[in-house]
Chain A
Amino acid sequence: MNHKYRQLFFSTLYLSAFTFGGGYVIITLLKQKFVDKLHWIDDDEMLDYVAIAQSSPGPIAVNGAIVVGYKLGGFPGILAAVAGAIIPPFVILTMISFFYDAFKDSFAIQALLKGMKSGVCAVILSVVFDMTSGIVQSHDFILCIVMVLAFIANYFLHTNVIFIILAVAVFGVIRTLLTERKGASK
């Protein structure tokens, strides 16, 4: 039992310490750890957790830690995962608020962070590649259209993420009800 909480705490701690580039990166890394490596959560379930983390208020990384923590260890799991996710930025920002001037002008730190950005993008797009091929292989044409429309709305039209999630959720309700009615009338 203790092993599970320790694993949760140190996983989110470790991932949070290296999450440059926002919440999507930590969610990607959580997936790699708990789905691909440990096999504690399955693929579809993880995508649902991403949807929950994303459609809720607050930092996506913290929300992701909460859903994974709850799934694996209930309420104590949430505490372990959230503590792990918060401690690294808390410690780093506390130190930086003391030494900010030197940090801002450091050539080496600037260069390291600039290079790391390319690596972060590669990690994100690699996971997108896996997820997209999963959806395309489902041979559900409508899901592919949803994906394209959501991308256009988000990337080109800058529609608020919560509106996209709500609209797609409503669409999902209607589609499920229609399919069930069709199934019942047969």
Chain B
Amino acid sequence: MIYLKLFLAFLQIGAFSFGGGYAAMPLIQAQTVELYHWLTLSDFTDLVTIAEMTPGPIAINAATFVGNQVAGIPGAVIATLGVVLPSCLFVTILAILYTRYRKLSLMQGVLKSLRPAVVAMILAAGLSILLPAVFPLGTLRSVDWLALLLFLGAFLLLRWKKWNPILIMVGCGVVELIVELIH
């Protein structure tokens, strides 16, 4: 029963990937390439490339892609439902507990300590995207001036002009495209 297999495989990917996109990748590989042979290793590499080039979480991208390849659109729907079901259960329970107990001093103490850690991890994620973009070869000399200028310009427009962030992101893409077309 292919639909059941798809559902269970992606249910596991959803349930065990803690910490966002990159944590999900080895799980996706284990289920779709090694266990079920739905994808070859080169298909999987293609999938990771697509996921990086498109919006949306990699786990959902993978579920839609693999589901489509293996069993058409119904397969994609079932795999996607499987991958988000653990989130829906787990996070809903946490949200209910949070709403009920957030006024307790213990819960507040824990959350107060967690806030700076969360900010630190968002910073780490931002840097892990920014630094490879600005220094593609990992050395100070390999600096990509256009990427650096786009970043600084976008940052200044956000801070001082309070422009819409999505407008700024699309604007950066358009500038890059124009510059590469001229070259």
Set B112, B116, B169: member contacting A147, Cβ < 8 A: B116
Contact string, A38-54, partner B, CB cutoff 8 A, digits 1/0?
00000011011011111
Main secondary structure of the interface of A (DSSP, over half): helix
Main secondary structure of the interface of B (DSSP, over half): helix
By the criterion CB–CB under 8 Å, are B53 and A155 in contact? Answer: no
By the criterion CB–CB under 8 Å, are A108 and B177 in contact? Answer: yes
Query: Top 4 nearest A-B pairs by Cβ distance?
Result: A115-B176, A89-B56, A176-B109, A58-B87
Set B54, B128, B133, B180: member contacting A93, Cβ < 8 A: B54
Q: When A59-B21, A116-B169, A116-B170 are in contact, do A128 and B123 touch as well, CB less than 8 Å?
A: yes
* Cα-based distance from A150 to B121 in the complex (angstroms): 7
Known: A29-B166, A176-B105. 19 other contacts (CB 8 A): A18-B169, A20-B54, A47-B111, A57-B14, A57-B17, A58-B15, A58-B83, A93-B64, A115-B177, A118-B130, A118-B147, A121-B133, A121-B151, A128-B119, A146-B113, A150-B121, A154-B121, A154-B124, A169-B113
How many contacts A-B (CB < 8 Å)? 345
16 A-B contact pairs sorted by A residue (CB < 8 Å): A18-B55, A19-B56, A29-B165, A47-B119, A59-B60, A62-B88, A82-B84, A92-B55, A93-B50, A94-B76, A96-B50, A104-B46, A118-B176, A119-B170, A150-B117, A172-B109
**What is the size category of the interface that chain B forms with chain A?**
35 or more
Q: When A131-B119, A169-B113 are in contact, do A125 and B56 touch as well, CB less than 8 Å?
A: no
A: residues with CB less than 8 A from B are 16-24, 27-29, 32, 44-45, 47-48, 50-63, 66-67, 70-71, 75, 78, 82, 86, 88-90, 92-94, 96-97, 100, 103-104, 107-129, 131-132, 135, 143-144, 146-148, 150-151, 154-155, 160-162, 164-165, 168-169, 171-173, 175-177, 179-180
